[in-house]
Amino acid sequence: MSGAVEIRAMTAEEVGIAVDWAAAEGWNPGLDDARCFMAEDPEGFRMAFVDGEPAASISVVNYGPEFGFLGFYICRPGMRGRGIGYRLWQAGMAHHGDRVVGLDGVVDQQDNYRKSGFELVYRNIRHTGVPAVEAPVDPRLVPIGPDLVDAVIAYDRPFFPAPRQAFMRCWLADGSRQGWALVEDGRVTGYGVIRRCRSGAKIGPLFADDAAGAELLFRRLSASMPGEVSLDTPEPNAAAVALAERYGLQPVFETARMYRGPAPDLPLLRLFGVTTFELG
């Protein structure tokens, strides 16, 4: 392989390059994902350069000392088959250390991930379509503003293997997204966020105590950004899959949720939409 290879943490501008690569691969990232993706672990985005030119990317975001999540593993066309991606993978996994690590990988790469110690736990299925919905009128639906952020972060905690407050504060506060919570008797019983993407909009997360609450939030979120909507549903939650299908969303893509180390015990039956395939 010719060319000097350098691997280092990305700058914010370089994370934007990786997001562009993800868009070119058909992953359809959000229009303003990069800043929130970096909020939790600024050192968690690594890039390989060949003679100073970006060649490959990986995100290896650590959420505290016990858990990390891997994503954005992309080698630029023209740089593939030269061992660059594997060198970057090794550097990224070194950043994770001995943490439990999760990823949402393309299905045909499962065998390669197994070689690095990852095991399949379940599939996530992306459903996409144009739901015919009107904004529901329900006093329990509350837009997520500054006064509700702490309660939503507390509600979010069981749905993720580690605290992620820095990410959440960015995800809930940024103007390019809209968040809605379901509040009953002063208590949050569900919430969701929708964001504009390169194509249409994407709902994530969508968490609720029951299917009825998830559907109410889905309708409110979809109505706030009319047009094409995507929802990434965990296959073990049959009610989540049924919700997507009921509103005309069709499966277009799937990932293999895999973990290196013990799989966390998440409340999948209350998890109706994954936050992001890039960060878990």
- Most distant CA atoms of the chain, gap in Å: 65
Determine phi and psi for 89, rounding to 5 degrees.
Answer: -55, -45
Q: What is the pLDDT of residues 150-188, one digit of tens each?
A: 999 999 999 999 999 999 999 998 678 999 999 999 999
Residue 61, both tokens? 């975001």
32 or 126, which is more confident: 126
Q: Is this model's pTM higher than 0.85 or not?
A: yes
Give the whole-angstrom CA distance, residue 68 versus residue 66. Answer: 7
Q: What's residue 27's pLDDT? A: 81
Q: What is the pLDDT of residues 77-127, one digit of tens each?
A: 888 888 898 999 999 999 999 999 999 988 888 898 999 999 999 999 999
